[in-house]
Amino acid sequence: MNLKTLSEHLGLSPTTVSRALNGYSDVARETRERVERAASELGYRPNANAKRLATGRSSIIGVSFPTGRNMLVDPHFIDFLAGLSEEAAALDHDILISAIKDDVGEAYKRMAAKGTVDALVLLGLHLNNDVLELMQGLKLPFIVHGRIPSDFAYAYLDIDNHGALVQATRLMLQLGHTRIANLDGPVNQSFSKARAEGWREALQGAGITPEPAYLRHGQMTEENGYIFARELMALPTPPTALICSSVIMASGVYRACRELGLSIGSDVSVMAHDDDLPLFYPERMDPPLTVTRSPIRAAGCEMARMVINLINGASIQDCQQVWPVDLIFRASTAPPISKPGSAVGGAEKNS
């Protein structure tokens, strides 16, 4: 069943049928209804590829990432994708996932030239990545999850990573901690850098010199949380407060503390940034985990809307958002306890 057949069946021209189906206003009401009825009865669906060729639009949004570090194993990425695809579906768009084998830049050029997708969602961009310049040169609209330094404007949605760590660090400071560690994400990711800077500035604002040994970078896995915590607690002067970049990391920290016989929420305070991932529930941890929070899935939803706006001609300036994060206080954070032999304590908290 194609347009020609349908129009012959109706005794109308393909032109009119097409216009009726696409909601043009200059079609007689009666004609439109007749066409719509016939189309639905006969199960007519316009051939997507013909439509794409004729209009130059595919209603497909591309999401690509290098095969090497396959992001499909990262729950953060997945949950983002869940939000993106759900909202895209609600807006009649599909998501094309393309795992790129080798040269990312080359792959982007290819996608742009082939015309399979109307826009690209860029994820997990590294700092000092030339991919923005490259995309700038292509005619393909794109939006970035996160922000990286650039000479020109581009569409993005980011959370306030800097502010998250400022909030987290200040909370620890207010509780009386001075030895505050930051178990941060990968060193080459912009969100990790922003978080490290927030941590540094909050400490300096309180007159404390950030201790380099208290800043650790790495993939946000349970394993790394465990390793970092073990190493930090083995320092001559271990931190009393640990801020983790993810709840998954924090669960590794919890494991390390259990092994070391450290009581979380008294011997040591722990908090994390919570992307609200399914399967990881900070409120159910023992003790419940204090977090800064911003659902990554909601970011995916919003980015679907934004990228579709972009395709429809929205200005780049209207497609730039930075989301604040919430701070949710739970039992994993408390004033430090002063132990015999500990150089810095929370004496003022005992008054």
Partner DNA sequence: CTGAAAGCGCTTACAG
Q: Is 75 among the residues that bind its own copies (CB under 8 A)? A: yes
Q: List the single partner that 12 binds among DNA, its own copies, none, CB under 5 to 8 Å by kind.
A: DNA
Q: Is the dihedral of CA 162, 277, 95, 101 positive or negative?
A: positive
Written as six digits, the tokens of 266 are 């008294």
Question: Distance between CA 41 and CA 133 in Å, rounded?
Answer: 49
The region of 4-12, 86-94, 125-133, 336-344 touching DNA under the rule CB under 7 A is: 4-12
Q: Is 89 among the residues that bind its own copies (CB under 8 A)? A: yes
75 vs 163, beta carbon nearer its own copies: 75
Site string for its own copies, 172-211 (x = CB under 8 A): ----------------------------------------
Q: Is 40 among the residues that bind its own copies (CB under 8 A)? A: no
35 vs 325, beta carbon nearer DNA: 35
- Minimum CB separation from its own copies for residue 246, in Å? 12
7 vs 240, beta carbon nearer DNA: 7
119 vs 144, beta carbon nearer DNA: 119
- Minimum CB separation from its own copies for residue 86, in Å? 5
Among 8, 13, 204, 266, binds DNA (CB under 7 A): 13
Site string for its own copies, 264-283 (x = CB under 8 A): --------------xx----
Written as six digits, the tokens of 10 are 């109706």
Written as six digits, the tokens of 17 are 């049928």
33 vs 286, beta carbon nearer DNA: 33
Q: Is 320 among the residues that bind DNA (CB under 7 A)? A: no
Range 130-159, binding its own copies (CB under 8 A): none
Q: Is 3 among the residues that bind DNA (CB under 7 A)? A: yes
Q: List the single partner that 235 binds among DNA, its own copies, none, CB under 5 to 8 Å by kind.
A: none
96 vs 337, beta carbon nearer its own copies: 96
Q: Is 2 among the residues that bind DNA (CB under 7 A)? A: yes
In total, the chain counts a number of residues equal to: 351
Among 8, 37, 55, 237, binds DNA (CB under 7 A): 55
Q: Is 43 among the residues that bind its own copies (CB under 8 A)? A: yes
Written as six digits, the tokens of 151 are 């000479």
Q: Is 230 among the residues that bind its own copies (CB under 8 A)? A: no
3-class SS letters over the chain: CCHHHHHHHHCCCHHHHHHHHCCCCCCCHHHHHHHHHHHHHHCCCCCHHHHHHHHCCCCEEEEEEECCCCHHHCHHHHHHHHHHHHHHHHCCCEEEEEEECCCHHHHHHHHHHHCCCCEEEECCCECCCCHHHHHHHCCCCEEEECCCCCCCCCEEEEECHHHHHHHHHHHHHHHCCCCEEEEECCCCEHHHHHHHHHHHHHHHHCCCCCCHHHEEECCCCHHHHHHHHHHHHCCCCCCCEEEECCHHHHHHHHHHHHHHCCCECCCEEEEEEECCCCCCCHHHCCCCCEEEECCHHHHHHHHHHHHHHHHCCCCHHHHEEEECCEEECCCCCCCCCCCCCCCCCCHHHHC
Q: Which residues bind its own copies (CB under 8 A)?
A: 1, 43-50, 52-53, 58, 60, 67, 70, 72-73, 75, 78-79, 81-82, 85-86, 88-90, 94-101, 109-110, 113-116, 221-222, 248, 278-279
